A and B are shown apart, each in its own frame.
Chain A
Amino acid sequence: MAEEAQKEKSMILQKEMISSLFSDLSRAKELGKKVCYTFIPGNLSELIRTFDMLPVYPEINALQSAMRKKSAAYIKEAERNAHSEDVCTYVKCDVGMLMKGNLGPTGEKIPDPDVLLLSYTGCFTFLKWFETLKREYPDAKVIMVHTPYQENGEMTPEMTEYMVKQFKEEVIPQMEEVTGIKYDEAKLQRHLVLSAEAEDLINKIFQTTKHKPSPIDAYFAGVYYIGPINIGFRGTQQAVDYYKELYSEIQERIRLGLGPITPEGEMKEEKYRLVVEGPPNWTSFREFWKIFYDIGAVIVASSYTKVGGVYDLGWRHDPERPLEALAEYCMNCYTNMNLPQRIDLLKKCIVDYEADGYVTNSIKSCNSFSAGQLGMMREIEDSLEVPVGFIESDLVDPRYFSYSNIKNRLESYFQMLDQRKKMELEEV
């Protein structure tokens, strides 16, 4: 494996943005800013920024701990304290990290929350997670936003109204109380204008995988691309600038006919185009990715890059309806969509991006994604006659990443794709 990843300007920009966030967090008190813990799906970044708070995302802390090979120890620490082996490993990693001093990726302590903002979109574990955190941080203000599920595959006016009422009568007054800052709707609207701009750009970026060869990997690299829009920068000029730069770099790759950049440089030959369902494994992220790029498999679309918002189908934050837009944003995240909607979206990706196959990475400790994946897979296989693959791993628990099992399964799957391609060629 190559030792040093290639770095483009957009990567450097992203690194600077994230460093600045953690730097601000470490100086939150000095800066006079309140700290808001919240989650990626349904994150209310624009509202948090309207109140000048700094966001902390516990699941991002967990995945970063995994990538830094620290999650195993954190999980064990949580399990020593009555946490079951069988529940979400993000939660256990976060709890273990807290018990070990809550040191962030920069090595500095992540400040305690002033607000626990729970807009629990598409995941019940979030609810349990914040019940746990509330007991660790009894002084934090808990602000709960109930996001209705798109049970009928739609966002109805009454669902939106329910959420708007919560914003008006519970969320905003409590944020005003904690921060001492009066709600400024014009400020929120300015953020939303920038959000919509970033959403347009990220949508265009993920559409570039329609090119052959695809200039990017929409899963393994995609998780980096969604970073700024998901971790508190949506609604800022920084995010817009980042996505403009990224888009321009990708355009250049398309002009040159280049494939995706991998940790070992540019992928030379695109042999298979895949759509992936489910989050990645973070503990062995590079090894996992390598199995794909070594064989020439590029991911042209993934559901995981939609957990923080689904922009493929045209929805954008509308600054003219600021609170309604926040409500719709929360309801429109991938895991808040019902199973038939998820199936339709994935089928659309397979067709639109001319994918050769569909792979499910089933995550042991994430029922929000995993429960129902087998039925989804069967439906996709039956209706599109596309070869499907299935592997199992976990988010941040290295005990559930079995490299050889996953490699064996994927190699068999790639052989199947090969056979299919040969047969199609013979038919032609």
Chain B
Amino acid sequence: MKSLDSIISECRANAYDLNFSRAREWKEEEEGRVLVGYMPIYFPREIIHAAGAMPVGIFGGGDDKQIIKGDAYYQSYICHIPRSIIEIALDKHLDHVDGFIFPSICDVIRNLSGIFKQQKIGKFVKYMDFPQNFLPEIGGVFYQQEMSHVLKYIKEINGKDVTTEALNHSIELYNRNRQLIETIYNVRQDFPWRLTIDEVYCIVRAGTVIPVEEHNELLEQVCTHISEDIGDPQDKIKVVVSGAFCEQPASGLIKAIEEAGCYVVDDDYMLGSRMILGDIDASTSHPLQAISTAYIKQSQYSSSIYDVHDPKENRLAKIVKDRGADGVIFAAASFCDPSLLDAPIFQNAFDKMGIRYIAFQYSENINQYKVIKEQVGAFSDSIKLWEDEPAIPAIEDKIK
């Protein structure tokens, strides 16, 4: 078994590798292998895996990539991630990626699919229209058709038909992947000092750019390591971070929150890897239907899913309660419509529920966190030093 430190450093290297080297190696290991890039938030990676391809998460350029060409494509008032994705594409970091999937999450990512089409980047560009109708016989069927289109595109490249057995096997692998990630979060809920949130982030994000089999092995080892009593507890409050599901905060910012006095016991940084809650049925003769039903019935709340019948504020409040968190940090990427338009809904509800929160905005390429750190530090102090009663009992009745 590898040491925890070596796993973390391997994951960190992969997570932030803008050349997607492990994916490239995987492709070169065997003739006919296909890489399919997908943008945030979520894509059912199971189907790509079952088609003999490898899904590659493309989550922007972070603070490593200098943006020159990308700025020529986007006005200053549009979020940062599309310009860094264009930059890494035009700089040929994605040349080994065969096709690209743009999930339907916002107008910017949707229109980015058009730019990829216009620029003829990749062998296929698929805008993945996730259903906003949540009846299995209507939205579910449409979703299955959308997945079939992706499989058709992959088959046009590798000539492979996808079997039920292969799909069920892939579903099993990703079920295990989510179980292991959830185990890490569950351990951290009680022992957040065993692994920092920055380390968790690297471990989870690495899974978007390496084969799932390898990622599951690493996760198993991480779970073994953190089952031991390692690390030293510190006097910090527990918080949930919400709103950072697409454009990713830089590593420094993720660290800064914990350094400023908070243990992050849940977050939506890598929401896509955790989107389906629980397992997808891996034993049916209609696996696409099983994936679709799971999306409709078992999805985590998200700013890109119409939520009227299951309000997101109640769902986040339940996470706060279940994790025993003291408050919420709303971290939205600048100019991120879905996150920022959700902010008043959350904040008005949390004012009524008595859940404490702070909010700030960031951009993937900012690396000055002093102000945010002070804000988070003040939030932590205000709870640690001046609050007698935890907020949790006050919200229990309101999130039923």
Contact = CB atoms under 8 A, between A and B. Distances in A.
Interface of A: 78, 81-84, 86-88, 91, 95, 118, 120, 122-125, 127-132, 134-135, 142, 144, 146, 148-149, 151, 158, 162, 165-166, 169-170, 338-340, 342-343, 362, 364-365, 367-368, 370-376, 379, 392
B72 interface: yes
Contact of A86 (B82, B303, B306, B335): B335
Interface in B232-267: none
Q: In the complex, which of the residues B78, B104, B334 has the most CB atoms of chain A within 10 Å of its own CB atom?
A: B78
B345 A371 contact: no
A367 B111 CA distance: 9
B110 interface: yes
24 contacts: A82-B348, A84-B343, A86-B335, A87-B340, A88-B337, A88-B341, A95-B344, A124-B105, A125-B341, A128-B303, A128-B338, A131-B308, A144-B306, A149-B104, A151-B127, A170-B138, A339-B111, A339-B114, A364-B75, A367-B108, A367-B337, A374-B74, A375-B73, A376-B118
Interface residues of B, number: 54
A368 to B, nearest CB: 4
Contact of B78 (A120, A129, A371): A371
Interface in B90-141: 104-108, 110-115, 117-119, 126-127, 129, 131-133, 135, 137-139, 141
B107 A166 contact: no
B89 to A, nearest CB: 12
A340 B135 contact: no
B142 A340 contact: no
B78 A158 contact: no
Given A120-B132, A142-B308, A148-B142, A82 B117 contact: no
B145 interface: yes
A340 B118 CA distance: 6
Contacts of A134: 308
A149 B142 CA distance: 13
Contacts of B341: 84, 87-88, 91, 125, 128-129, 131-132
Contacts of A118: 306
A169 B138 contact: yes
B298 interface: no
B107 A367 contact: yes
B107 A374 contact: no
Contact of B135 (A86, A169, A339, A371): A169
A222 to B, nearest CB: 23
Contacts of A91: 341
Contact of B107 (A124, A146, A170, A376): A124
B172 interface: no
B221 interface: no
Given A148-B129, A148-B142, A372-B111, A82 B73 contact: no
Interface in B331-355: 332, 334-335, 337-338, 340-345, 347-348
B386 interface: no
Contacts of B334: 86
A51 B381 CA distance: 57
B236 to A, nearest CB: 26
A206 B311 CA distance: 44
B307 interface: yes
A249 B166 CA distance: 67
Contacts of A86: 77, 334-335, 340, 361
A149 B112 CA distance: 13
Contact of A128 (B119, B142, B342): B342
Contact of A151 (B129, B142, B306): B129
Contacts of B306: 118, 127, 131, 144
Contacts of A339: 111, 114-115, 117-118
A81 B348 contact: yes
B345 A158 contact: no
Contact of B133 (A127, A131, A166): A166
B164 interface: no
A86 B363 CA distance: 13
B304 interface: yes
Contact of B138 (A83, A151, A162): A162
A278 to B, nearest CB: 11
Contacts of A135: 311, 345, 348
The 7 closest A-B pairs by CB, nearest first: A339-B114, A151-B127, A128-B341, A146-B132, A372-B111, A82-B344, A84-B340
Interface in B125-168: 126-127, 129, 131-133, 135, 137-139, 141-142, 145
Contacts of A142: 308
